[in-house]
Amino acid sequence: MRILLFGHSGQVGRELQRALRGHELICPERSTFDLARPDSLRPLIVRERPDLLINAAAYTAVDRAEQEAQLAFAINAEAPAVMAAACAELGIALIHYSTDYVFDGHKPAPYLESDTPNPLNIYGASKLAGERAIASSGCEHLILRTSWVYARHGHNFLLTMQRLLQEREQVRVVDDQIGAPTWAGSIAQASTELITAWQQGNRRSGLYHLTCHGETSWFGFARAIGERLRAAGRPCAEILPIPSSDYPTPARRPLNSRLDGRCLAHDWNLRLPHWEEALDACLG
């Protein structure tokens, strides 16, 4: 399959390149397009005319987005809208990744795809606008919402916590935000399986929740990282749980980021591993 991949240098994009080695991958350099100028995307898509477009690119600076709303919406909403319109025109399928931050976190149970979004911050609002643009475009698409993404590269909680736990004697981590840490490698593997199912005739379009199984808090995630540091004979700070109110940030975060993955299992027979199993695979 000929696949055009935006965001190839990011966490998910780098793992997708490994997982999709059996396909013809087109990874355009940033010099050939600019997500902040969505009108630069259509000529590239028309020129390449892939069988599938994967958008793993996004503006992900959640706190900075509160001051850079225009840029966040250009990259997370307007750019996907241009991609989707071009895909609809040319008969190209589209896979796009979204976020748990489209929800406000007030629901006591894991969120379903049918639940009404209500983002608390600019980042979540921009990602929701991108989802809606794709859904209304008429192109064949999969919108995959995921959460708490990490990898062995890039900027993420895993790498930050590994550094802090080895530099400090004590680290305080929020314990009242609940979600599922999801390894970028698990996302890439699941995406590959979805592409294979598409090729085999399952041509469903729609929105799905795609996260690792299980749940924890940021404190629980940090504790798991610390356990693996100690097991490897490396230094590890004491980890203390704190409420979100003790760690104020410019952007509000949902307390409940759990996403229910039953639709993905039902429609695609696809279930991601438990988050701790995925963490071990990432670090292995």
Residues belonging to the active site: 123
Cα 106 to its chain centre, rounded Å, is 21
**Which residues have a Cβ under 8 Å from the Cβ of 187 and sit 6 or more positions away?**
12, 15, 97, 144, 146, 149, 210
Q: Which one, of 67, 83, 69, lies nearest residue 33 by Cα?
A: 83
148/212 Cα distance (integer angstroms): 10
Hey, is 216 helix, strand or coil? strand
34: exposed, middle or buried (Cβ count in 10 Å: 0-12, 13-18, 19+): middle
- Is 137:85 a contact under the CB 8 Å cutoff? yes
The structure tokens listed for 188 are: 């890439």
Going by the DSSP 8-state scheme, the letter that residue 274 receives in this structure is B
39/128 Cα distance (integer angstroms): 20
The structure tokens listed for 59 are: 């503006």
- Is 103:54 a contact under the CB 8 Å cutoff? no
